Amino acid sequence: MSKGLKKQIVIVDDHPMMQKGLSMTLESDLGFEVLKQFNSAEEMLREYEELDPDLAIIDISLPGMSGLELIKHIQSRTPDLKILVVSRHDESLYAERVIRAGAKGYVMKLEAGDQLIKAVKKILNGGVYVSEEVSERLLMGMVGGHKDITESPIDQLSDRELEVFEFTGKGNTTREIAEKLHLSIKTVESYRARIKTKLNLSNATELMMYAVKWVEESRNEREF
């Protein structure tokens, strides 16, 4: 296959080893070429239109602008660009929000390489790639007029607040969350205060208990 016929892909992920692994997996297929790798959303937004890729692979947790915000920016500027999210975050917690933002698929970083190739091919062919469980939930949401999605208290949270909430539920301290999301401790504390207000929680203990319960329920739903 000539180089000109290869599908052009850009990667946005701030972990060098993950960038390398994704690139190697993608370029093991003769139909794909990785045009460029970006460490942040801001870097991609400055250059991707000039590169004119067929697909963007984006992580959720990025320094500065989050991956979810990046998806929304891309959708407003070039809605035809296909997007696949590849993230360490649990699919059951984020896939619905990612699809609503405009991405066409979600693959967890723990998945095997052949899943990545399968997802990319399906999306480039006009499809949507999520797990069977998430696909069923999305369809049920459509049938019910998205009632199950929009009535969730968690849906009030912004994309970054959701990340802070998830990490809280997984037992991370404020400092650990700050390091994972490339934020200051003060900023994480501010997000936690907003989460408590939106979810009508009185204190940090209530927030922790609510977050732990939500993460566990989401995991159980996915396993079931």
Alpha-carbon 150 to chain mean position: 19
- Residue 151 burial (CB count, 10 A): 9
Tell me the mean pLDDT in the region 190-200: 94
3-state DSSP percent of the chain in helix, strand and coil, to 5: 60, 10, 30
147 pLDDT above the threshold of 60: no
152-223 shares the fold of 3-143? no
Tell me the mean pLDDT in the region 35-43: 94
Fold of 3-143: Rossmann fold (3.40.50)
| Percent of the chain surpassing pLDDT 70 | 88
The class of domain 152-223 in CATH terms is mainly alpha
Average pLDDT, the chain: 86
Rg (CA), the chain: 18
CA distance 53 to 8: 5
Q: Tell me: the pLDDT tens digits for 78-129?
A: 999 999 999 888 787 788 889 989 999 999 887 778 899 999 999 999 999 9
Q: Tell me: the pLDDT tens digits for 50-59?
A: 999 999 999 9
The number of residues making up the chain comes to 224
CB-based contact 7:34 (threshold 8 Å): no
76 pLDDT above the threshold of 50: yes
* Sequence spans of domains, the chain: 3-143, 152-223
Q: What single-letter DSSP state applies at residue 3?
A: G
Give one DSSP letter per residue of 23-52, joined into a string: HHHHHTSTTEEEEEEESSHHHHHHHHHHH-
> Confidence class of residue 221 from pLDDT cuts 50, 70 and 90?
low
**pTM, rounded to two decimals:** 0.76
In this prediction, residue 61 carries a pLDDT of 85
